[in-house]
Homo-oligomer: A and B are copies of this chain.
Amino acid sequence: MPEHPGRWGDSEARRRDILAAAGALLDEGGYGALTMRALAERAGMSPGLIYEYFVDKEDVCAALLQQHQVALTRLMASVAADNGIRAVLQGIVPETTLQWGRVGRLAAASRNRARDRDLAGTTSAQFAALHRLLEDAARAENCGLRESPALVPFVWAGLMGLADDLVNGRTAAIDRQTLIDYTIDALARGITEPATGPAASRRRGRHD
């Protein structure tokens, strides 16, 4: 318990302000616009003070990534799995795209061990939430998931690849929704065995 209660409140508020300013700068001008001076000005403080709350620029980015991971994990925990894998993936694409657009292309290897451990934790929580969601959705549409340690990394890589295509202009020639639908359908086909039960037949339109 701090002697001056207001101090921790201010401290948390400052962290939030810095991360919010970082997100805004990334949205407006990409990584090139995220300079420590611009960040300080945007957050209403001097550059030096940022280093009171984050060890370096990479730490700011890692914290922003972590914030997105937590938000996505929360979203995945609340998404309904009743309508199957494709519906579930459609529901999380906007959030995954936002995450990739801001912090997707950040370096993997960092110099900060503590932050790495921290990130590994939220990353694995995010993967666990995605795994549970896929299992529930597969059950809901009565088809088997092709389980493997590589299952979730594969789906995640596919979502990040889609996000990369969407964020950059690489697919200007292709209709966005076509790309999203094809990707989601192909991912779903890739990780499932064909459904066999009556529910699956109904879903596929075969009223036998």
Contact = CB atoms under 8 A, between A and B. Distances in A.
A167 B191 CA distance: 23
B168 A183 contact: no
B178 A153 contact: no
7 contacts: A148-B182, A149-B174, A150-B174, A150-B182, A151-B182, A157-B183, A189-B189
Interface stretch (A11-19, A48-56, A105-113): A105-113
Interface residues of A, number: 41
A140 to B, nearest CB: 20
Contact of A161 (B146, B158, B168): B158
B170 A149 contact: no
A170 B153 CA distance: 9
A97 to B, nearest CB: 13
B173 A149 contact: yes
A153 B165 contact: yes
Contact of A153 (B151, B169, B179, B194): B179
A170 B169 CA distance: 27
Interface string A8-37: 000000000000000000000011000000
A3 B104 CA distance: 49
5 smallest A-B Cβ distances: which pairs? A157-B161, A186-B190, A108-B168, A150-B182, A190-B190
